[in-house]
Structure 1
Amino acid sequence: MADQNSTEAIIMAALSTLSSSHISDLSHSIAALFHRHRRRLCSLLSSPTIFSFTLQYLQSISLHKKSLLIAHYLLLNLSVLNHFMRSNTTAPPYAATGMKLRDLDAVLLLLLLCELHQNEPEALESPPSFWRGVLCNYVADTMLKLTSFGASNGEVLMEYIEKVVKCRNFVNVMGRDSGGGDEGKDGREVATSVAAVVALPSVEVSGGGRECVICKEEMIKGRDVCELPCNHLFHWMCILPWLKKRNTCPCCRSRLPTNGVLSEIDRLLEDLVKIGDGDDRLYRERSIHD
């Protein structure tokens, strides 16, 4: 899943399940996000003070921290698509996946520096005090455009896919080179995020004979139990300790949200795989009611 071809294929397969009207709505949502970030990049490059502070911040942090910055930005972009697929709305949960302004400035500048180094390696051989001017000249015809709204849906989506793939590759390479890890890697278990646990619904058992697979005892009709997003039911006293250590359903192993950014990236990509494969109940139910 980590390589470029598979990440692109996962997103393309998920997009292929959308109708033309949904594609249009999603494109507008992505274009709005790009528009805000491009305006922020304009402000960064036009202000010597902000640029200087942001560059100093980038130079002061480790390679692993830089990798995590890009990972957070990747998670933000993936959340736009995933949230749209799940709820059929154009307003992603920015409060849950947003970045601090300093970190957003840093990742926008970092990605721009990486792009410049890739396309014009000699451009950054000058002293850092000249970099702002170099970057301004480089982006004059592209990145400093204040809007993406004039672009076609296909152009917006292709730019989105290219950005996701590029960030995914950066995270893989930089994370490996820095030796940085993340919860959930190498088979280690990851706790479900507190916010996700608090949001779990309490439902009344409607029939007898159901068993809680954790304690192996029957769930009594009329009692309130916990329902996971996959629709499996458990006693509250059984599932809470489980979710404190793991982010998977005891029955089907479907993942719940975590606080680990790399784990969340993998979880969102897995959800997109299910949608692209036509093996996603939540998406099918949403489609039926559209």
Structure 2
Amino acid sequence: MMADQHSSPESIIMAALSTLNPAKLADLIYSISSLFHLLHRRLYSILSFPMLYDLTIRHLQSLSLQDKSLLIARHLLSNLTILTQSMQTCSMIGSTPKTYFGANQMRLRDIDAVVLLLLLCEIRHLFPEMLETPPSNLRLMLYNYVSRDMLTLSGIETSGAHVLMKYIEMVAKCKRFVTVMGGGGGGGGGGGGKSVNESATSVAIIVTLPSVEVKRGCTKECVICKEDMKEGRDVCELPCDHLFHWMCILPWLKKNNTCPCCRYRLPTDDIFSEVDRLWELLVNVGCAS
């Protein structure tokens, strides 16, 4: 199954998933199930406790449309990270620290806000009249709506195929929302935010770049300063295998997350740019399948 950047989000994700072997696919399903357990527990808690529901609603109401877009973009980034990490077969794919389970995980308040926001968006699409219900009754109606699938949402009697379809549906919806609200962007379909040239490389990635010694007979030049790399000198090697003088590449990476030679994209701390980078990776993997 092949997909390109003009395909639907569902087709792109399906094409990328088709490249996984059974073992990696099983690991991915386990990771997705773990994430769903977290999100569904939070949604159940919000709808079960009036005080928590009121606090979450107030938090959502305090956010601008741009902040809501950023919230969904962070949620999308976490999901894309789970998928792209399952496809890592070499260092060129890179990684990002933005995951629910990593050191820079989303705050619980933001997780609550995004799951309730996505539920309200779903209700607005399917049952817009429900949102005209008085606030005092809306929580119970949302609870009843969600409780119909609570057995499935809790992970009981759920097949791997069902988990994947739920995941694809959620990611595709978030991608469309971020694309519309964030405005296109560059690369493979875009997530908005800064352009590729304006996105600095993540500091966490820069500090892990290897230093390699220039071997005898190497006639390569640093494309930034146009000077030859001297034998025995330590230089920086990017994940795409291109070499640069450290004093040349560091200022570049502080402003750009692309290789000066091949435009390979490194991870960045900008949420929208990172969504765009990982989505481009999925497009490339799907096209190659």
TM > 0.5:
yes
Task: State the distance in 2 between where 1:144 and 1:174 align.
Answer: 33
Kindly provide the CA deviation profile for residues 110-160 of structure 1, in whole angstroms up to 9, marking residues without a partner as x.
Answer: 001111121111111012232211110110111565532632222211111
Residue pair 2:179, 2:192 contacting (<8 A) in 1 also: no
Unmatched 5+ stretches in structure 1: 280-290
Task: State the distance in 2 between where 1:144 and 1:56 align.
Answer: 29
TM-score when scaled to structure 2? 0.86
Is 1:112 aligned to 2:119, yes or no?
yes
Cα separation, partners in 2 of 1:149 and 1:96, compared to 1, 3 Å:
farther
Task: Please give the residue correspondences for 1:1-290 in structure 2 after superposition, counting only pairs within 5 Å.
Answer: 5-86=7-88, 94-95=101-102, 98-143=105-150, 145=152, 147-148=154-155, 150-175=157-182, 182-184=193-195, 189-207=198-216, 208-278=218-288
1:98 Cα deviation from its structure 2 partner: 2.3
Task: State the distance in 1 between where 2:172 and 2:65 align.
Answer: 19
Cα separation, partners in 2 of 1:107 and 1:169, compared to 1, 3 Å:
same
Residue pair 2:237, 2:243 contacting (<8 A) in 1 also: yes
Partner amino acid, structure 2, of 1:199: T
1:18 Cα deviation from its structure 2 partner: 1.2
Residue pair 1:2, 1:168 contacting (<8 A) in 2 also: no
Residue pair 2:210, 2:237 contacting (<8 A) in 1 also: yes
Residue pair 2:199, 2:256 contacting (<8 A) in 1 also: yes
1:175 Cα deviation from its structure 2 partner: 3.7
Task: State the distance in 2 between where 1:169 and 1:130 align.
Answer: 30
Partner amino acid, structure 1, of 2:79: N
Unmatched 5+ stretches in structure 2: 91-97, 184-190
Cα separation, partners in 2 of 1:155 and 1:201, compared to 1, 3 Å:
same
Kindly provide the CA deviation profile for residues 37-61 of structure 1, in whole angstroms up to 9, marking residues without a partner as x.
Answer: 1111111211211111110010111
Q: How many residues were matched structurally?
A: 270
Q: What does residue 288 of structure 1 align with?
A: none
Runs of 4+ in structure 1 over 4 Å off: 143-146
Task: State the distance in 1 between where 2:262 and 2:197 align.
Answer: 18
Kindly provide the CA deviation profile for residues 14-34 of structure 1, in whole angstroms up to 9, marking residues without a partner as x.
Answer: 111111222122111111111
Cα separation, partners in 2 of 1:38 and 1:10, compared to 1, 3 Å:
same
Q: What does residue 283 of structure 1 align with?
A: none
Kindly provide the CA deviation profile for residues 162-186 of structure 1, in whole angstroms up to 9, marking residues without a partner as x.
Answer: 101101112233345xxx96222xx
Partner amino acid, structure 2, of 1:223: R
TM-score when scaled to structure 1? 0.86
Cα separation, partners in 2 of 1:50 and 1:145, compared to 1, 3 Å:
farther
Q: What does residue 287 of structure 1 align with?
A: none
Structure whose residues are more often helix by fraction: 1
